[in-house]
Chains A and B, each alone.
Chain A
Amino acid sequence: MSLKPEEVEKIAGLAKLELAEDEKESFREQISSILDYVGKLAKADIGGADPMSHSVPMLNVLREDTVAACGKETRDAVVDAFPESESDMLKVKAVFS
């Protein structure tokens, strides 16, 4: 299969990725050829096979809804990692505008 240029734009939009102009074409070709390859799964006789998301049983892990303490050092490290901050607050662009 061959992806269309507008499909590449659409996926990049969904993935929130800015792509360089020259990359759009090389990605289109490369992703198309990978999709061709993985398309061979259409030939697999899946019968009534159960989808397998994990190789171990997935169980919910629950705990009391209480705040777990965290040391000052850890807290500071998290705050220091903010790309932009004002005092100790994380600064972001307006979500609703």
Chain B
Amino acid sequence: MDTKALTAAEIAAGLKKGDFSSREITEAYLKTAKSHSGDTHAFVVVDEDGALAAADESDSRRSKGGPVSRLDGVPVAVKDNMLVAGRRATAGSAILKDYVASYDATVVARMRQAGMPVLGHTNMDEYAMGSSTETSCHGPTRNPWDTERVPGGSSGGSAVAVAEGSAPLALGSDTGGSIRQPAALCGTVGFKPTYGRVSRYGLIALASSLDQIGPFARSVRDAADLLAVIEGRDPNDSTSVDLQTDWALPETYKDRLDGLKIGIPKEYFISGMEEGVEKAVQSAIRRFEELGAEIREISLPHSDFALAVYYILMPCEASSNLARFDGMRYGARVPAATLEETYRKSRGQGFGKEARRRIMLGTYALSAGYYDAYYLRALKVRRLIADDFIRAFTSVDCILSPTSPTVAWKLGEMLDDPLSMYLQDVFTVSVNVAGLPAISVPCGFSQGMPVGLQLIGRHFGDKTVLEAAYAFEQASGGFGEFVPAKGATSRQ
């Protein structure tokens, strides 16, 4: 079975027809996942027993004619910051290397309920801090298009798993672009839902006001199907909201986009963008016009401040969230003579460089005398950025931009230059700052590497974004073009 060529919808249809069982399909993905452990290293751990047990349950339910969900028996991978009861979840951090979760994250419980076998945990930047999946305590993940290059991050493992055919679907988390950017760099679809659409309960937090869980998939339809499984109000996450139920899954989507107004922010097309990326995105814009969409130039005047707002708010929230990792109740403890020394050593040795850097940055910005100048000021500019979007959405239905200013770069290239790495998030962070939905879909190539385009929607306008992306994907031929040719090329 060629797992690289299958969408989740095709798997669901094959299971329904009886072409194969969930056990067979799950085994095929487990085999692919294991075969790439030495080259791309998408998975931190493959959970063969757990996945096959769930697959057998799904098969038995189906054979008895019991109720089956739309994605029943379709396997899925989860990022290593989502809890699965009885399984390790490390968030890529040495401080949690031996941590075994005591409960399921809400998204995991919902996928379990839907009969989806969980293939294992995928690699990520430590605590989701990074754009390259190089800061994991388990070592880096590599891009299946060119294993000398990064897959993007922080959900790099999930993006690679889907791109290389180690999983038909995967979950990632997106705080400043951590689903969309690796999706773009690996040639998959990645969707960050509106903040509040998906419960964060059981997600190891980076920045609680920005984090949102979302799907990676081979197609927009698959991403929408997985979103439908995981979304909705959860009493265990006070920021999750009741959703209107008028949302239709993609077979009702249209192939044309007549009447849709798409805004192109002039501030996003100025400097620093790779030429091939700009070309691919410009030709995608023409494709949208052919589909009947009306293209309008818009302005998001505070765009230039978005990255600065993000790189204050995120470390502030992270420094507070990561205070719980102190070697006391769980995680690694480095014994010392006093309690204070135990904290300092456990945290100093348990956290990697980037995590410590961001904790320091956040602690500084929140410390006495600096709070007003950094944190409070950033919250005010955050409002201005959100207002820019509200204003823009009075004249357009969605906003189009590149997902990332460049294609995937070489491993190690930016690891010691945090600011350059942070600048890679320039097109994605505003979306989290404003809490909006946004998708990345593949739209072409530059330097032989995939390029992604981003569509941003109104607050809870997730459906509009998915519909527009779906029509674009249909018109441009779907994912077939975005399969890494020979899979992972061997490392030199």
Contacts and interface: CB of A to CB of B under 8 A. Distances in A.
Interface of A: 3, 7-8, 11-12, 14-20, 23, 27, 30-31, 33-35, 37-42, 44, 46, 49-56, 58-61, 74, 77-78, 80-84, 90, 92-95, 97
A93 B336 CA distance: 9
Contacts of A51: 376, 379-380, 382-383
A41 B386 contact: no
A39 B381 CA distance: 12
Interface string B193-227: 00110000000000001000000000000000000
B319 A15 contact: yes
A20 to B, nearest CB: 8
A60 B335 CA distance: 38
Most chain B Cβ neighbours within 10 Å, of A19, A49, A60 = A49
Q: Decide if the interface of chain B is mainly helix, strand, loop or mixed.
A: helix
Interface in B231-248: 235, 238-239, 241
A8 to B, nearest CB: 8
A95 B339 contact: yes
Interface stretch (B41-49, B58-66, B132-140, B301-309): B301-309
Contacts of A11: 360, 363-364, 367
A18 B327 contact: no
Interface stretch (B259-267, B285-293, B340-348, B398-406): B340-348
Interface of B: 85-86, 99-103, 195-196, 209, 235, 238-239, 241, 302, 304-305, 307-309, 311-312, 319, 326-333, 335-336, 338-340, 342-345, 347-349, 351, 353, 356-357, 359-361, 363-364, 367, 373-374, 376-384, 386-387, 418-419, 422, 434-436, 459
8 contacts: A17-B356, A18-B345, A31-B360, A39-B308, A54-B435, A55-B195, A55-B459, A84-B333
A93 B339 contact: yes
Given A74-B103, A78-B102, A38 B360 contact: no
Nearest to A90: B329
B99 to A, nearest CB: 6
Given A51-B383, A55-B196, A77-B101, A38 B374 contact: yes
A30 B338 CA distance: 31
Contacts of B376: 51
Most chain A Cβ neighbours within 10 Å, of B239, B326, B364 = B364
Nearest to A33: B419
Contacts of B349: 18
A44 B8 CA distance: 46
A54 B344 contact: no
A61 to B, nearest CB: 5
Contact of A81 (B100, B356, B384): B100
A40 to B, nearest CB: 5
A42 to B, nearest CB: 8
A49 B383 contact: yes
A15 B101 contact: no
B345 A37 contact: no
B312 A38 contact: yes
3 nearest interchain CB pairs?
A55-B435, A18-B348, A77-B102
A53 B379 contact: yes
A50 B436 CA distance: 19
Given A15-B360, A16-B347, A31-B357, A40 B382 contact: no
Given A51-B380, A51-B383, A16 B344 contact: yes
B196 A56 contact: yes
Given A51-B383, A53-B379, 14 more contacts: A7-B364, A11-B363, A15-B319, A40-B304, A44-B302, A56-B196, A56-B239, A80-B100, A81-B329, A81-B330, A82-B330, A83-B333, A90-B328, A94-B339
Contacts of B435: 54-56
Given A37-B419, A38-B312, A90-B328, A27 B357 contact: yes
A23 B333 CA distance: 21
A44 B338 contact: no
Given A55-B209, A56-B241, A97 B338 contact: yes
Given A18-B345, A40-B305, A54-B435, A82 B367 contact: no
Contact of B311 (A20, A37, A82): A37
Given A31-B360, A61-B238, A81-B102, A55 B434 contact: yes
Nearest to B86: A77
